[in-house]
Structure 1
Amino acid sequence: MSLEEREREYSPSSCIGGEYAPFIDDYRRLSVAAHAAHPPASYRYGSKSTQTLDVFLPEVASGKPALLVFIHGGYWQELSKDDSAFAAPYCLANGIALAAINYTLAPKATLDEIVSECVEAIDWLTTFASVVGIDPNRIFVSGSSAGAHLAAMVALKRRSIRGAVLVSGIYDLGPLTGTSIDRPLKLSSRTIRENSPLLEEIESFPPSLIAWGEIETSQAKKQSQAFAAHLVAAGTRCQSLEVSKRNHFDVILDLADPGTALGAKVHTLISKGTI
């Protein structure tokens, strides 16, 4: 594809008339409400001021709850954990804990550093599970857009992850080269090779749900379809789901809502530990 074609195909808002701010407003509005109704515990998982996370804990009769970790999108350049709590009420109502992770955004951090921070956050949650109040053997990772890429990288690097929910992700970074998305990232051939899950040999990957919205660009859909096929070819238990009438920005709002096609499958994955 030409640069102009790639610019369009990897601009998610091109399918919705270019205006995505109302969806970001929804993330923030719902997250503010979740924080008010269910105040989380906040922790620092690293030495940087940006290396923080919030944990929302449900009340459970006995034992420690499973944890769904959410890594936000924004093409590695926007948003934060404060915009990422919209799934908390659904998780808590079903006895699941939710962790929303913050990470240093580009260009203040390279993509290598961003991936390392997300892995560090998972390591911290696993090490301090008893302090946090979650089951270290039932940690599931999820993410949207760039967050799905980061969740996939975490699942590749940490075998302790019990399952992955990857929504509208980018799994081969090569097509981003030279686009406006690449300007703060400054992707090199090495960075692309070492941070593209689709280019990795899959030796061990947890049961996974790969989802995307019906209203997305053809290349965005192909990225998800290709990675799902890559996982299946490697013997990973994996399901794919195109969510009807949803776009790149609002599909993630279904993440933990058991009344939706995506949310129902997420709850099945967490309750059974498999797809």
Structure 2
Amino acid sequence: MRKTRSSLYVLAAAVAAVGGLVACSPLTAINALSPAGSTDTSTDIAYGIGARLKLDVYRPARPAAGAPVVVFFYGGNWNSGQRKDYAFVGRALASRGIVAVIPDYRLYPQVRYPDFLDDSAQAVAWVAQHIGAYGGDANSLFVMGHSAGAYNAAMVALDSRWLGKQASSPAILAGWIGLAGPYDFLPIENAAAKPVFHFPNTPLESQPVNHLDGKKLPALLIAANKDTLVNPVRNTGGLATRLRERGVPVTEIYYDGVSHTTLVGSIAAPLRGLAPTLDAIDQFVHKNASLSKVQAM
């Protein structure tokens, strides 16, 4: 969603730290300060037909056999964003032994709900079929997102319609991760999101909280206590409560040192002092990847 002023102050410091990149965007600066290190990247891989239906894969230079896989969806009100801006997420996950996939998806005004969910599911289905060629284990597959991207991840994980259209189901997933996600946002107050979701005729089925009766996938839900864009109590807290009531294992974390925007920024090396977000993701993925392998035996 939109950046807050306080978030931009922190990100502006990252920009200023890159002498030759003073005029660049905060995300460009964060990427410049997040070197690839011992990771490899494969870019511009088509998972469907169309300019936006491409993805990048980040992996450890020497991935361990059966490395877990995370498909990450970025935010941006479903009307902005591009995968290259989140290279720092892919590199950070790869540095922890995780094969990371970052897809683009179509945005408003080219499309509206639910078309970007079809794209998200198509990307996940492609990963499930092809990630072995990049050192990843399709049996340890997770979806993850920030803000609007967390919504996409939640819907792919909780609502079987989307992967069902790809001749698959959420059963292929080992778990999902949401960072500052909007999971229960009716009536819509965000002006940018209104046309995306056909306001005032937004269907109830568009809300992740209305899709809780499927496979009980482990969930990691992280939010910023100071989030002024997506209410953490209603969205993260409310969804966590409803999932637990249905016997779903949920890890629920709130951080004080970050905002809506800097929560995802804290994954990057220069901003990790803000919150241990990467550590929490790392622990959740490896723990549940191991459990999924045991259950598959």
Identify if the C-alpha distance between structure 1 residues 189 and 123 changes in structure 2 by more than 3 Å, giving closer, same or farther. farther
Deviations 1:102-154 (A, max 9, x none): 00111101121001100010000001122333100111111110010001011
Aligned position for 1:132: 134
Identify if the C-alpha distance between structure 1 residues 267 and 17 changes in structure 2 by more than 3 Å, giving closer, same or farther. closer
Gaps of 5+ in 2: 15-23, 161-169, 292-297
Matched, 1:163 2:164: no
Partners of 2:212 and 2:90 in 1: CA distance: 34
Matched, 1:144 2:146: yes
Matching of residues 16-31 of structure 1 within 5 Å: 16=6, 22=12, 25-31=25-31
Partners of 1:201 and 1:75 in 2: CA distance: 23
Candidates 69, 72, 84, aligned match of 2:71: 69
Aligned position for 2:254: 242
Larger mean Cα displacement after TM superposition, 124-133 or 50-59? 124-133
Identify if the C-alpha distance between structure 1 residues 208 and 214 changes in structure 2 by more than 3 Å, giving closer, same or farther. same
Identify if the C-alpha distance between structure 1 residues 102 and 33 changes in structure 2 by more than 3 Å, giving closer, same or farther. farther
Partners of 1:224 and 1:89 in 2: CA distance: 26
Give the aligned length: 264
Identify if the C-alpha distance between structure 1 residues 186 and 227 changes in structure 2 by more than 3 Å, giving closer, same or farther. closer
Candidates 152, 155, 161, aligned match of 1:153: 155
User: What secondary structure, in the 3-state scheme, does the structure 2 residue paired with 1:130 have?
Assistant: helix
Partners of 2:187 and 2:224 in 1: CA distance: 20
User: What secondary structure, in the 3-state scheme, does the structure 1 residue paired with 2:60 have?
Assistant: coil
Matched, 1:176 2:191: no
Matching of residues 1-275 of structure 1 within 5 Å: 13=3, 16=6, 22=12, 25-32=25-32, 38=39, 40-42=41-43, 43-60=45-62, 62-156=64-158, 157=160, 158-176=170-188, 179-187=190-198, 191-217=202-228, 220-221=231-232, 222-255=234-267, 260-273=275-288
User: What secondary structure, in the 3-state scheme, does the structure 2 residue paired with 1:123 have?
Assistant: helix
Partners of 1:214 and 1:255 in 2: CA distance: 17
1:80 corresponds to which letter in structure 2? Q
Identify if the C-alpha distance between structure 1 residues 256 and 268 changes in structure 2 by more than 3 Å, giving closer, same or farther. farther
Partners of 1:39 and 1:60 in 2: CA distance: 9
User: What secondary structure, in the 3-state scheme, does the structure 2 residue paired with 1:125 have?
Assistant: helix
User: What secondary structure, in the 3-state scheme, does the structure 2 residue paired with 1:162 have?
Assistant: strand
Amino-acid identity (%): 22
Larger mean Cα displacement after TM superposition, 106-115 or 251-260? 251-260
Partners of 1:78 and 1:218 in 2: CA distance: 16
Q: TM-score, structure 1 length as denominator? A: 0.84
Gaps of 5+ in 1: 1-10
User: What secondary structure, in the 3-state scheme, does the structure 1 residue paired with 2:87 have?
Assistant: coil
CA contact 2:7–2:259 (8 Å) conserved in 1: no
Partners of 1:15 and 1:223 in 2: CA distance: 22
Larger mean Cα displacement after TM superposition, 58-67 or 129-138? 58-67
Deviation at 1:263, TM superposition (A): 2.0
2:264 corresponds to which letter in structure 1? I
Deviation at 1:256, TM superposition (A): 7.5
CA contact 2:144–2:176 (8 Å) conserved in 1: yes
CA contact 1:34–1:88 (8 Å) conserved in 2: no
CA contact 1:138–1:162 (8 Å) conserved in 2: yes
CA contact 2:157–2:176 (8 Å) conserved in 1: yes
Identify if the C-alpha distance between structure 1 residues 50 and 13 changes in structure 2 by more than 3 Å, giving closer, same or farther. closer
Deviation at 1:202, TM superposition (A): 2.6
Deviations 1:17-57 (A, max 9, x none): 99898499332323356586555212111111100110011
User: What secondary structure, in the 3-state scheme, does the structure 1 residue paired with 2:257 have?
Assistant: strand
Identify if the C-alpha distance between structure 1 residues 57 and 218 changes in structure 2 by more than 3 Å, giving closer, same or farther. closer
Partners of 1:193 and 1:208 in 2: CA distance: 22
Deviation at 1:181, TM superposition (A): 1.7
